[in-house]
Structure 1
Amino acid sequence: MKITFLGHASFLIEIENIKIIVDPFISRNPLAKDINLAALNADFILVTHAHEDHMADVEIIAKASDAIVVSNFEIVSYFEKLGIKGHPMNHGGTWEFDFGKVTYTNAVHSSSFPDGSYGGNPGGFLIQAKHKNMYIAGDTSLTMDMKLIPLKAKLDVAILPVGDNFTMGVDDAIIASDFLECSKIIGCHFDTFGYIEINHEEAIKKFYDKNKDLMLLKIGEDIQL
């Protein structure tokens, strides 16, 4: 499994020969200007919720690569009206895809389309692939529901927001990692704009002091699991 950070909460996950893009917000993110949007191909696009900073580039990527959008019912319906294929899910539901088993998990946040209309309830994803398990929290506060994740799968990595203000911050993300029983964390939803700028060294040290590994990847940087 290869995970590449595309900025903000966007990732490219490669599982064998299948490419999955999560929450694409690239063309409107000045920090991601070096990412070539036209070169991104996807088999699947996972969308946690309807806010623009998580789905701004779904349409262009999906239409260019004929990708399937996986999200809640409302978001999938929205994109199906644009001629994009989708697979709708809702909280607690699980489906077996070509790359592994996906469960749509709870998130505590809000969710609306750019025009203000209802975007369904926000969520996250538990991915149980053939050899690795990962959890993508989406935009969320710390929630006791995270304690349910390790009852379903032993995680190899978790992607958690750490920018605070709109989501949980570093201190709550440490507690979340305890709930998840996962010590390897990839941070997201930080530095994109003023409200969520963080001190990288301080954040990494806080995790380190708890015997945990916080990875704050540079945009375009990847890790292999």
Structure 2
Amino acid sequence: MKITYLGHASLHIEFEETNIIVDPFISGNSLASAINISDLKADYILVTHAHQDHILDVEQIAKSNNATVVANYEVANHFGEKGIDVFAMNHGGTYKTETFSAKYVNAIHTSSFPDGSYGGQPGGFVVTSKSGKSIYIAGDTALTFDMKLIPLQTTLDLAIFPIGDTFTMGVDDAIIASDFVECDTILGYHYDSFPPIQIDKEEAKQKFANRHKELLLLEIGKSIEL
């Protein structure tokens, strides 16, 4: 499983000839100016919630790739009305294909479309590939005890947490979250995109290291493999 950081909370996940884009906010992110969304491959687009910094490029990427958008009921309906193939779900539900499954799990946040209309309840995804690799994409969330439910069903190879604070949990809460999900390898996202969520990256890494955990902070466009 190859995971590429596309900036902010956007990811490209590739495995077994399957391409997944998560929460594409690229064209509106000046830090991701080197990423050309026309070059991105996507069979599926996972959307955690309706905020603009998570859905901005969904329509263009979906239509150019004939991709399926997997999201909560309200977000899925929004894109379905635009002629995009969608799969609508809600918390506790699992989307299954021949190469992976994606379970929609709880997140503590808000969710509205750019025009202020209701975007359903926010969530995260536990993605498991056919080969058995599992990752938790937390989405925008505060620390929540619901995270403790995840390791009861899934052994994670990687947890992807927002760490920018202000609108989501920060570094200290993300460390506790890593305890809750029983995963010591963390990929940080949702930081540095704009002033309220800028962080001291070296300090953040050291805080995780002090707890015998690894915080990965990828440069935009760079990848890790599991």
Q: Same fold (TM over 0.5)?
A: yes
Q: Please report how far the alpha carbon of residue 15 of structure 1 lies from its aligned counterpart in structure 2 after TM superposition.
A: 1.4
Structure 2 equivalent of residue 46 of structure 1: 46
Any stretches of 5+ residues in structure 2 without a counterpart?
none
Q: Which amino acid is the alignment partner of residue 210 of structure 2?
A: D
Q: 2:223 aligned with 1:222, yes or no?
A: yes
Q: Deviations over 1:175-201 (max 9, x none)?
A: 000000000000000000000000000
Q: Please report how far the alpha carbon of residue 99 of structure 1 lies from its aligned counterpart in structure 2 after TM superposition.
A: 2.4
Q: 2:50 aligned with 1:72, yes or no?
A: no
Q: Distance in 2 between matches of 1:85 and 1:46?
A: 12
Q: 2:153 aligned with 1:152, yes or no?
A: yes
Structure 1 equivalent of residue 32 of structure 2: 32
Q: Distance in 2 between matches of 1:6 and 1:60?
A: 16
Q: Which amino acid is the alignment partner of residue 190 of structure 1?
A: Y
Structure 1 equivalent of residue 204 of structure 2: 203
Q: Please report how far the alpha carbon of residue 98 of structure 1 lies from its aligned counterpart in structure 2 after TM superposition.
A: 2.8
Structure 2 equivalent of residue 2 of structure 1: 2
Q: Please report how far the alpha carbon of residue 68 of structure 1 lies from its aligned counterpart in structure 2 after TM superposition.
A: 0.1
Structure 2 equivalent of residue 161 of structure 1: 162
Q: Please report how far the alpha carbon of residue 162 of structure 1 lies from its aligned counterpart in structure 2 after TM superposition.
A: 0.2
Structure 2 equivalent of residue 213 of structure 1: 214
Q: More deviation in 87-96 or 213-222?
A: 87-96
Between the two proteins, the alignment pairs up a number of residues equal to 225
Q: Deviations over 1:134-187 (max 9, x none)?
A: 000000000000000001100000100000000000000000000000000000
Q: Distance in 1 between matches of 2:28 and 2:167?
A: 19
Q: Distance in 2 between matches of 1:215 and 1:102?
A: 23
Q: Secondary structure at the match of 2:167?
A: coil
Identity rate, percent:
60
Q: Which amino acid is the alignment partner of residue 155 of structure 1?
A: L
- TM-score, normalised on structure 2? 0.99
Q: Distance in 1 between matches of 2:101 and 2:26?
A: 27
Q: Please report how far the alpha carbon of residue 94 of structure 1 lies from its aligned counterpart in structure 2 after TM superposition.
A: 1.5
Q: Secondary structure at the match of 2:136?
A: strand
Q: Secondary structure at the match of 1:102?
A: strand
Q: Secondary structure at the match of 1:7?
A: coil
> After TM superposition, what 4+ stretches of structure 1 lie above 6 angstroms from structure 2?
none
Structure 1 equivalent of residue 178 of structure 2: 177
Any stretches of 5+ residues in structure 1 without a counterpart?
none
Q: Which amino acid is the alignment partner of residue 182 of structure 1?
A: C
RMSD: 0.6
- TM-score, normalised on structure 1? 0.99
Q: Deviations over 1:26-62 (max 9, x none)?
A: 0000000000111012000000000000010000000
- Pairing of 1:135-146 with structure 2 (within 5 A): 135-146=136-147
Q: Please report how far the alpha carbon of residue 211 of structure 1 lies from its aligned counterpart in structure 2 after TM superposition.
A: 0.4
Q: Which amino acid is the alignment partner of residue 104 of structure 1?
A: Y
Q: Which amino acid is the alignment partner of residue 63 of structure 1?
A: K
Q: Distance in 2 between matches of 1:119 and 1:212?
A: 35
Q: Please report how far the alpha carbon of residue 204 of structure 1 lies from its aligned counterpart in structure 2 after TM superposition.
A: 0.2
Q: More deviation in 62-71 or 86-95?
A: 86-95
Q: Distance in 1 between matches of 2:43 and 2:94?
A: 19
Q: Distance in 1 between matches of 2:14 and 2:225?
A: 10
Q: Distance in 2 between matches of 1:11 and 1:96?
A: 20
